[in-house]
Amino acid sequence: MNNSHSQSYAAAGVDIEAGYKGVQLMKRHVERTVIPGVVSGIGGFGGLFAPDVSGMKEPILVSGTDGVGTKIRVAQLMDKHDTIGIDCVAMCVNDIICCGARPLFFLDYIAIGKNEAEKVASIVSGVAEGCIQAGCALIGGETAEHPGVMAPDDYDLAGFAVGIVDREKMIDPSMVKAGDVILSLDSSGLHSNGFSLVRKVLDVEHARLGEWSEELSGELGGSLLQPTKIYVKPVLAAMEAARVHGVSHITGGGFYENIPRCLPKGMTAKIDKSALKIPPIFSLLQKKGDIPERDMFNTFNMGTGMALIVDKNDADKARDLLLSAGQASRVIGEVVPGGGGVELL
């Protein structure tokens, strides 16, 4: 690679040598994520992983893909790029654990206007941190320079995760029944959803993101960039010993779109709003944007990053298991017979 150089390509705006430098800078971050099963390091044409399926009767691979969305604009405005990768990993692994899968590996894709090796390495450092939190390996990725298509400072980040679960241990929403308890797993804030509305309401292009906010007890930009919480380890711990019937990752679409995805026909999720712990960023947005409550719960997570539906006799056990893994939770409702969907009281 040291002899690889194209003056013509560089004149067109693509610096392949910067790409090589970026790979070298990110290697130390990637190495932190190595777990048993990793076969190859980064730099090849494909990431190799040998899953351990011993003890599984019927292993099922589960995949998920997502990006960070327009939250990336906040990172660009603040010139802070080392946490946005956590969001990217979280959006993928939090999805695949909804069926009980343990994440195995992750790959990322960065499209960038101008390849600045240090910036790319900073982005990947966040991806690596997310993988460590999820217990999976970062086994590959791609950085693509897009001169003339993207502005030099612009970039986008997406990725995908693959996990594994034994078929007999998969979460089966058909097991959800009347009387089951709904647990809220506290979010860290906005996570990575609704940022097109957030940017409009707060006028982030002109906002003083570094200023202290009394309402938020911190900087506005810091609150907006707070990484999406990764729930893999606590949720898997709860699934080992408690009867978890349904899991819902509360992303875009909020309560109204996501909770029904793990409800069988004829069942309704009845939610007690007074039981929720809603971070102040949501109140700020609702007030500044004059946003109806219905829209808030249909756009944001409102303090519930993930909802677990558990057998009522296992609710306390599930909460203890979650807490032992570092995840606070609270009872916010129950499943009742009905026409389906979510009922907020």
Q: Which pLDDT tens digit goes with each residue over 21-68?
A: 667 777 888 899 999 999 977 666 788 999 999 999 999 999 999 999
Q: In sequence order, which residues have a C-beta less than 8 Å from that of residue 281 and are 6 or more positions away?
A: 189, 190, 216, 223, 224
Q: Residue 44 CB: number of other CB atoms within 10 A?
A: 11
**pLDDT, position 227:** 97
**pLDDT, position 48:** 92
Residues in the chain, pLDDT under 50: 1
Q: Residue 214 CB: number of other CB atoms within 10 A?
A: 7
Q: Residue 241 CB: number of other CB atoms within 10 A?
A: 12
The answer to whether 174 touches 266, Cβ cutoff 8 Å, is: no
**pLDDT, position 25:** 77
CA atoms of 126 and 227, how far apart (whole Å): 10
Task: Print burial letters for 291-310: b (CB count within 10 Å at least 16), e (below 16).
Answer: beeeebbbbbbbbbbbbbbb
- Output the CA angle 314-252-62, nearest 5 degrees: 60
Calculate the CA dihedral of residues 72, 223, 65, 136 and round it to 10 degrees: 120
CA atoms of 211 and 178, how far apart (whole Å): 48
Which residue is it, tokens 């907020």? 344
**pLDDT, position 214:** 86
The answer to whether 228 touches 192, Cβ cutoff 8 Å, is: yes
**pLDDT, position 340:** 82
Q: What is the DSSP string of 139-162?
A: EEEEEEE-BTTB-TT-EEEEEEEE
Per-residue pLDDT of 180-231, as tens digits, reads: 999 999 999 999 999 999 999 999 999 999 888 888 989 999 999 999 999 9
CA atoms of 245 and 56, how far apart (whole Å): 20
**pLDDT, position 1:** 47
Global pTM reads: 0.92
CA atoms of 163 and 99, how far apart (whole Å): 10
Q: Residue 290 CB: number of other CB atoms within 10 A?
A: 7
Alpha helix positions (H), the chain: 7-11, 16-31, 71-78, 84-96, 117-134, 195-202, 220-225, 232-241, 254-258, 280-289, 293-297, 315-324
**pLDDT, position 231:** 98
Please give the distance of CA 89 from its chain centroid, rounded to a whole number.
5
Q: In sequence order, which residues have a C-beta less than 8 Å from that of residue 254 and are 6 or more positions away?
A: 296, 297, 298, 299, 300, 301, 302
Which among 117, 115, 124 is positioned nearest to 147, based on CA atoms? 115
**pLDDT, position 10:** 63
Which among 185, 295, 193 is positioned nearest to 251, based on CA atoms? 193
**pLDDT, position 126:** 97
**pLDDT, position 296:** 97
Q: Residue 333 CB: number of other CB atoms within 10 A?
A: 25
